[in-house]
Structures are given as structure tokens and as C-alpha cells.
Structure 1
Amino acid sequence: MMSVPTLKTDRLILRAWQESDIEPYIEMCADEEVMRHLSGKPMTRQEAWRHAAYIIGHWQLRGFGHWAIEHKESGKFVGRAGFFNPEDWPGFEIGWAIHPNFWRQGFAEESARRALAYAFEDMGRKEVISVINPGNTASIGLAEKLGERYLRDDEVFGQPVSIYGMSKEEYLAQ
């Protein structure tokens, strides 16, 4: 069983998933606005549960994945952030999704910055990408704020996506 590292920021804890994260994750995945740019439609309860299992399993298969984000002060589930690189993916991707109760508080940026530091400084990654729906201006803005730049257009699961990314050199130059 793989041990998931715990990362901390001023306000957040990025940690292994727990059973108590599943209900707020199901709630988050049922939200039309959250899912509009991720899967295109809200997930059913069963789909969200299976997606959480996919995220947890990614850690076991790849040695990295998305952390559950916990709000330090309240202990509440904030969302998820971390890395994906499943079979046939365009590259080692950093991604994030925040529960609507925690929008517009800078938690996506805070968790993504900590995850990026981990990727480049602890994992020794040479490049990180973000696979973003071209209409998701908020995620494009965050990717650019993190220092990522537009790389190319691509297709994932038959859907057009924009690939943003940065090299370790670009990260270290910030």
C-alpha cells in the first residue's frame, strides 16, 4: 500500500483521501458549474464515487495523484489538487477542482503552487502540463498565474483541450 505524502500550506492540508471526503466530493461533482469544464455535465452519485476511487487508485498505480484538500481551520473538504498521468494522457498533468463553498478564496492557487513545488523539487519532474477546456477561462488564468504557458491544442476523450505547461527551468526562474 502506497503512503500518500501530506503537504501543507498556510491554510490547507493536501492529504490522502478519507471516507469522510466522499460525500462532499459527490456533492461537488453534482454541481453543474464545477463540472461544466471538467466532464461537461454533473456526475451521478455512482459516477462521483467511482471517480474518487479512480483518484485514490491513481496513487497506487502511478505513485502520485490528486490529494484531498482540507481546510486547516475548519477541517472541511475543500476539493482536490494534484497530478494525473493515466494511460494515453498528453503528459504529467497538474489539475485542481474546488468545492463551490470555497470558490474565490485562492485555494486552487494555493494548493496548485504547493503541488508544483512538490513535483519539481521533490519528485524531480522536468515538465508539468495542464489539460484545460478552452472555454475554462478561470483555469487558463490560474495556469498562467502559476507560470504555465500555452503549448498546443489537443484532444482528450474526443474533446478539444488546450495544453498549458512549464518546465522545471521556467519554474525555478520565477
Structure 2
Amino acid sequence: MTVTFSAPTLETERLILRAPELSDFDALAAFYASPRSSFVGGPQSRELSWRALALEAGHWVLRGFGRWTLIEKTTNTPVGIVGLWHPEGFPERELGWDLFDGATGKGYATEAAIAARSYAYDTLGWTTLTSLIAIDNEGSRRVAERLGATYDSDFTHERHGPMQLWRHPGPEGRA
């Protein structure tokens, strides 16, 4: 039996946001093998990275929403994962972003997060979103600030430890 799921494809000026696919595995495994993944449970093995890819796809099946693989239009290369997230253990629905090596400093996280947040508000009808950010993750905090999110509260995650919950402006308050 094959289980299929449907995820919309979104486009921004420089990115395509599409459902996670098996072809993303090597890029995801390289991300999770690198120190860049330290804020999201890494570094970790290829076997655990496989489970992470299955989790990304499975979230779409179980929740009806999830995170998209970011494809850079000019190179057709996966450069990260951004989207809507609410696995067990998270206090609220989240807008999250992870960029792969070489993709930082280009505004991709902000560009893709704006598209994902618009989808949450305009298509799914949500009225609020949060982002959980590791205390020492300055880069993610800067992205949250660019998106207009503000610090809301502290949260201790079962596996990731102390984090900060940042609240995004609602549909009426976004720029």
C-alpha cells in the first residue's frame, strides 16, 4: 500500500516551496551532519536524518500541513526547509525554518517564511503563529524580528531544552 499526500506548491521571487521528496535526502542528511543543525537536534547520522525526512512528509499526512523543501529557482537546488509545524510536544502551531549550508545570509528564510505565513493566514484561516527559537540561535532570532515577531515567553522542550517562543503578528498586523 502506498500512502500519498498532497501539499501545495508555493512560489516566491527566488524560491519554490514544495513537498518534501526522497530526492531531498542527501541535502537534508548533509544539513543534519553539520554543526548548523545543532539548534534542531543535530548533528546526527544519516539513519536519523532519514527519520527526519519521514517526519517532514508524515507531518503533512497527519496534520494536513507541514514544512516545504525550499528549492532555489536558479539552480534547482534544495536550500532548506520552511513551513508550518505542530508535532507533539510543541505548545502551539509554529512557523519554522532551517537553511542548509551555503544558503544563509541571502534572505531565503525570511522570503519563504513570509510565503508560509501568508498560506497559514490566508488559506488555512489561522489567526496566530509562533516560532520556537533556541536561546543561542541569533540567526533565527534575527529572522523572527524581520518577520515582525516578538518575544512572548520561555519554553522548555523535552529534547531541545530551553527555548524562546516568539509570536508573529496576526493576519491584520503583518507588513
User: TM-score normalised by the shorter chain: which range applies?
Assistant: over 0.9
Where does residue 36 of structure 1 map in the other structure?
38
Q: Give the partner amino acid of 1:161.
A: M
Where does residue 18 of structure 1 map in the other structure?
21
Partner of 1:147, secondary structure, is coil
What per-residue deviation string (whole Å, max 9, x for no partner) do you get for residues 128-169 of structure 1?
000010111111111011011110001111511100012425
C-alpha contact 2:147 2:168 (8 A) present in aligned 1: no
Q: CA shift at 1:124, angstroms? A: 0.6
TM-score, normalised with respect to structure 2: 0.93
Separation in 2, partners of 1:129, 1:55: 18
Q: Give the partner amino acid of 1:81.
A: V
Q: CA shift at 1:171, angstroms? A: 3.3
What per-residue deviation string (whole Å, max 9, x for no partner) do you get for residues 92-132 of structure 1?
00000111121211111111111111111111111100001
1:164 and 2:161 are equivalent in the alignment: no
Separation in 1, partners of 2:37, 2:121: 28
Separation in 2, partners of 1:63, 1:164: 23
What per-residue deviation string (whole Å, max 9, x for no partner) do you get for residues 48-75 of structure 1?
1101100100000000011011011111
Separation in 2, partners of 1:19, 1:48: 12
Separation in 2, partners of 1:68, 1:83: 12
C-alpha contact 1:130 1:164 (8 A) present in aligned 2: yes
Closer, same or farther: CA 156–79 of 1 in aligned 2, 3 Å:
same
RMSD across aligned positions (CA): 1.3
Closer, same or farther: CA 76–169 of 1 in aligned 2, 3 Å:
closer
Partner of 1:37, secondary structure, is helix
Q: Which runs of 5+ in 1 are unaligned?
A: none
Separation in 1, partners of 2:144, 2:58: 26
Separation in 1, partners of 2:118, 2:53: 24
Task: State the 4+ residue runs in structure 1 displaced beyond 6 angstroms.
Answer: none
Number of equivalenced pairs: 171
Where does residue 7 of structure 2 map in the other structure?
4
Where does residue 87 of structure 1 map in the other structure?
88
Separation in 1, partners of 2:98, 2:48: 16
Higher helix share: 1
Aligned pairs (5 A) from 1:65-144: 65-144=66-145
